[in-house]
Amino acid sequence: MALKSQSPVTPHHVVIVGGGAGGLELATRLGDKLGKSGKAAITLVDKTSTHLWKPLLHEVAAGSMDIDQHELEYLAQARWHHFKFRLGAMEGLSRTMKEITLSPVFDLDGKELIPRRSLKYDTLIIAVGSVSNDFGVPGVKEHCIALDTQADAVVFHQKLINACIRAQTQEWRLGQGQLDVAIIGGGATGVELSAELHNTTRELTAYGLDRIDPDRDIRLSIIEAAPRVLPALPEHLSLAVQRQLVDLKVDLHLGKRVTKVDNNGVYTGDDHFIPAKLVVWAAGIKAPDFLKNIDGLETNWCNQLLVKQTLQTTRDESIFAFGDCAACPWPAQGEGQLVPPRAQAAHQQASMLVKSVVNRISGKSLPEYKYRDFGSLVNLGKYTTVGNLMGGLTKGDLFIQGVVARIMYQSLYKMHLYALHGMTKVVLDTIARIITRRTEPHVKLH
């Protein structure tokens, strides 16, 4: 009697949507842990083909970092760490069919490169991060640049370079606000960008743009609705940053709510006008619009998916969400409080989800996430770095500044790289950057 052949068992398919810091770290670790042995199939989906650590975007925008030397190819990472990568933006979800829909991808000529398609999952993990929230302020979409993506940062830098070249070669005097930059939002992105711009505009003018005087011709402004910059961080940290910005002659417009932006500058609620041809919007975030009540999943006012302590969405146990796109409870801070949208939270959640996926496949109970706040660091370029350490690192709230703070800030990026590549590559790349940096201009000139 002939034996019936048994069909191979299809491995559990884990689909991770979003290749930011948390999503890419999770895909890498799950690929090494489960994908390599065939215990699960891991697929990472992202709308772009390369990854850059988002806290570095302000350096790319200012030109103090060359994106080509720091971005990572998803396809290469997938090959090295035993997961698959699919290019495309998630646009739909069918919970009954357990599949997501990816929008078409077009080439530079506008021709369809990859058609719309569906992707099945057993476990879906959404980590699409956040985008800028313009709160419906007139003129923001038309006249502001939001540093949400690598492309945004590159566009801003190109506009800055072009503005300086135009000012250098024109025969008439500079117009009002022609080289001025207004940054709407005094959070970490805003203050870090202002400090980087203060340095790089001076570097730029040193490379032959001798008709531009940075102290006279380039004005940097921060407009913040709260009474101080960094309103979400401890007051002593905020005030230390504020003092440094004043020393750098950055104009601080505090307690000012923006009412309109046009081609000439920014208007605030007290009829004050701030001239600027380059305007950056960094005043708030929300989860991407496509998540709003997607296939019945529960979301809040800013499109975040509501999740339980296990990071499972409240209405579907097969779907997880983490990072900026998830509204995760923070019981230690009281009823209704949520885990703040910080890189350290996404990193902690990604680490926990590795265990969660392993337990889910083996039928075990899932761990619950508890946020640990280790403090905050704000880097003002070459001028200084300030921060506070707390949680498990100290017995209280310890304020740090200067070299120690800068080393700790740089170590955060190294920890991200370590999670993706391991220690050997991080050490070798660091040595290589130290050597090559001595032979390169300190600002990107094109």
> Residue 201 in contact with residue 218, Cβ under 8 Å?
yes
CA distances from 383 to 37, 41, 57, 62, 414 (A): 48, 46, 18, 15, 21
- Identify the bridge partners of residue 273 per DSSP, sorted by sequence position: 267
What integer is the mean pLDDT of 421-437?
80
Q: Which option is the CATH number for 140-284: 3.50.50.100, 3.30.360.10, 3.10.350.10, 1.10.1660.10?
A: 3.50.50.100
12-130+287-362 and 140-284 in the same fold: yes
Q: Which CATH class is domain 12-130+287-362?
A: alpha beta
pLDDT tens digits, one per residue of 68-106 = 778 899 999 999 999 999 999 999 999 999 999 999 999
pLDDT tens digits, one per residue of 32-55 = 999 999 999 999 999 999 999 898
Domain boundaries, the chain: 12-130+287-362, 140-284, 375-438
Distance separating alpha carbons of residues 54 and 58, to the nearest angstrom: 9
Distance separating alpha carbons of residues 159 and 282, to the nearest angstrom: 17
Q: Which amino acid is at 437?
A: R
Geometric angle at alpha carbon 238, from 151 and 348, rounded to 5°: 60
Which of 116-120, 393-397, 424-428 has the weakest average pLDDT?
Answer: 393-397
